[in-house]
Structure 1
């Protein structure tokens, strides 16, 4: 996870001014990672139904490391940066869902909800570490060094893979990219579409959080309380216990009900932040802390719900659909927030940030609609 948010980490302070990017262009650059992921994950995750996911995990981690280093050495502007960062996203497509499949293939039979939730919540810890290392290295040695140094992270995953016991997958059945059984699985698709709404919101705020708090710091010179580095790291670290807590609430009160409440609460908090964009950081910081709880709290419950609702013979394909929808909307979230900022006055305008957070609120509200659509249908009496 170490390279995961290097671009968002250095976007506002380094890449936007050096490459003279608009908000939409900056969102496109950051979103190219998720776009590369989206294009590759249908094949790579589905392959885990046919070969040991460990093999794909090793290959994806190696590509992730190589592309991250390439960005630091060769990227010269929007298009070269987007192409290389998209390649890094392809590498991550071989790491994240194949990593989850490698985990679930090695668990004893039974409820995997908590194990899956710990895996997805560790994602947030990795993002926090990525924010921290990226910004500290960039400030000390320049933004290119941040990419070169964080490229070491995926190589550690390769070393871990060498200690995983091999697992023989089940004999392949059907075509490689046969998603018809996944699409017809309405309960699983509800979680997939809900995850898409979650990712739109998550990557929208993750891409632009440093830029937003930079705006807050400039507007309130001398009284910003915390630096953009501290805010971005804290936002990500809070996500780990929040995701675990959200899944526990799903186990206790019902998965659909808990996820829908979390999503509605997140939309309300996003609107509150947007309407308070020009207010004191003493008002905004508690709201950001609350948003750091609501944004990721549905993640573990959505992903574990998907794995349990999936047909065991098509679990890899279901994970592929989950990630394709999720990261496709992640790219749209990064770009969409940038567009909203451009249209409403730019990232130095409070009204632009109001529009950006309103868009995030609208995005997450699509999640409850998806879950409502996928709810179990009452049986008709004859």
Structure 2
């Protein structure tokens, strides 16, 4: 996870001014990693139904490191940066869902909800570490050094993968990219589409949280300790306990009901932040911290719900659909927020942040709609 948000981490302070990027272009650059992921994950995740996911995890980790290094060495503008970031995203496609499949293939029989939630919530801890390391290294040694340092993360994962015991999956029926059984599983597809809404909001705010808090801090003289580094790291790290607690909440009160409640709360908080974007950071900070909890609180419950609703013979294909939809909307979320900022006057304008957070709220509100649709279809 170490290179995962290195591009969003350095956008506001380095890449936007140096490469003269608009909001939409910055969103496109940040979203290119998710786009590369989305293009590759259908094949790689589906392959895990046929070969040991560990082998894909090894190749994906190597490609992730390579794309990260190439960005640091050769990126000179929007298109070269997007190319190398997409390459890193393709490598991550061989790491995240295949990593989850490698985990579930090695779990003892029984309810895997908590184990899957721990895995997905660890994603957020990795994002927080990525925000922290990327910004500290970029400020100390320049933005290119951030890519060189963070590329070490997937190389360590490469070595760890070699220590995993081999597992041979059961023979999978059907063709390699046969998604018809997945699309026909309405219960699983409800979680998949809900995950798409979640990813739209999550990646949208992760791409722009540093730029937003840069705007907030610049308007106040008493926010010296509330730097963009501190806020972005805390925002990301809070996601891990939030995701675990969200899944426990779902187990206790019902998965559909709990996820929908979290999504509605998240949309409400997003709109409040947008309305108060030009106010004191001490007023905004509690809202941002609440948002740091509501945004990821549905993640573990959505992913574990998808895994448990999937046909065991098509679990890899279902995970592929889950990731394809999720990361497609991740890329769209990063870009859509940038477009909203441009349309409303740019990131130095408080009304632009109202527009940006309204886009995030609108995206997450589609989640309860998807869950209601799937529940109606399965009743």
- Normalising by structure 1, we get a TM-score of 0.98
The 2-side partners of 1:239 and 1:85 are apart by 24
Deviation at 1:159, TM superposition (A): 1.4
Question: 3-state DSSP class of the match of 1:375?
Answer: helix
Tell me the equivalent position of 1:221: 221
Q: Distance in 2 between matches of 1:377 and 1:65?
A: 43
TM alignment of 1:199-210, pairs within 5 A: 199-210=199-210
Match of 2:181 in 1: 181
Distance in 2, Cα, partners of 1:62 & 1:343: 39
Distance 2:328 2:168 in 1: 31
Deviations 1:100-143 (A, max 9, x none): 00000000111000000000000000000000000000000000
Contact 1:242–1:296, Cα closer than 8 Å, also in 2: yes
Tell me: CA distance 1:76–1:378, structure 2 relative to 1, closer, same or farther (3 Å): closer
CA distance in 2: counterparts of 1:309 and 1:151, whole angstroms? 35
Quote how far apart the aligned CAs of 1:219 are: 1.2
Q: CA deviation at 1:171?
A: 1.4
Give SS of 1:374's match.
helix
- Match in the other structure for 1:34: 34
Shift of 1:172: 3.1
- 1:365 aligned residue: 365
Query: Which ranges in structure 1 are unaligned for 5 or more consecutive residues?
Result: none
Alignment correspondent of 2:278: 278
> Contact 1:274–1:355 at 8 Å: present in 2 too?
yes
Deviation at 1:77, TM superposition (A): 0.1
Give the paired residue count.
379
Distance 1:72 1:312 in 2: 41
Contact 1:225 1:281 in 2 (8 A): no
CA distance in 2, matches of 1:376, 1:157: 42
Task: Note the C-alpha offset of 1:169.
Answer: 1.1
8 A contact 2:52–2:168 mirrored in 1: yes
Q: Give the match for residue 259 of structure 1.
A: 259
Helix, strand or coil: the match of 2:238? helix
Q: Any residues of structure 2 matched to 1:107-118 within 5 Å, and which? A: 107-118=107-118
Shift of the 275–162 alpha-carbon distance from structure 1 to 2, 3 Å rule, reads: same
- Determine whether 1:97 maps to 2:101: no
User: Is contact 1:216–1:224 with CA below 8 Å preserved after alignment?
Assistant: no
* Residue 163 (structure 1) shift: 1.4
CA RMSD of the aligned region, Å?
0.9
Q: Contact 1:37/1:93 (CA < 8 Å) preserved in 2?
A: yes
Q: Deviation at 1:222?
A: 3.7
Query: For residues 221 and 343 of structure 1, what CA distance do their matches in structure 2 show?
Result: 28
Rounded to whole Å, the distance in 2 between the matches of 1:5 and 1:113 is 27
SS in 2 for 1:332: helix
In 2, the alpha carbon distance for the partners of 1:38 and 1:378 equals: 28
2:187–2:378 contact (8 Å) kept in structure 1: no
Q: CA-to-partner distance for each residue in 1:297-352, whole Å, 9 max, x for gaps?
A: 00000000000000000000000000000000000000000000000000000000
Once the two structures are TM-superposed, the CA of residue 273 in structure 1 deviates from its matched residue by 0.2
Deviation at 1:158, TM superposition (A): 1.1
Give me the whole-angstrom Cα distance separating, in 2, the residues matched to 1:343 and 1:102. 44
Matches within 5 A, 1:130-145: 130-145=130-145
1:3 aligns with 2:3: yes
The aligned residue for residue 128 of structure 1 is: 128
Q: Is the 8 A contact 2:186 2:377 kept in 1?
A: no
Q: TM-score, length-normalised on structure 2?
A: 0.99
Other-structure match for 1:20: 20
Hey, what's the Cα distance between the residues in 2 that align with 1:377 and 1:212?
40
After the TM superposition, which parts of structure 1 deviate over 4 Å for at least 4 consecutive aligned residues? 376-379
CA-CA distance at 1:224 after TM superposition: 5.2
Uncovered stretches (5+) of structure 2, i.e. residues with no partner:
none
Aligned counterparts of 2:2 and 2:156: Cα–Cα separation in 1: 10
Cα deviation digits, residues 160-186 of structure 1 (max 9, x gap)? 111111001111321100000000000
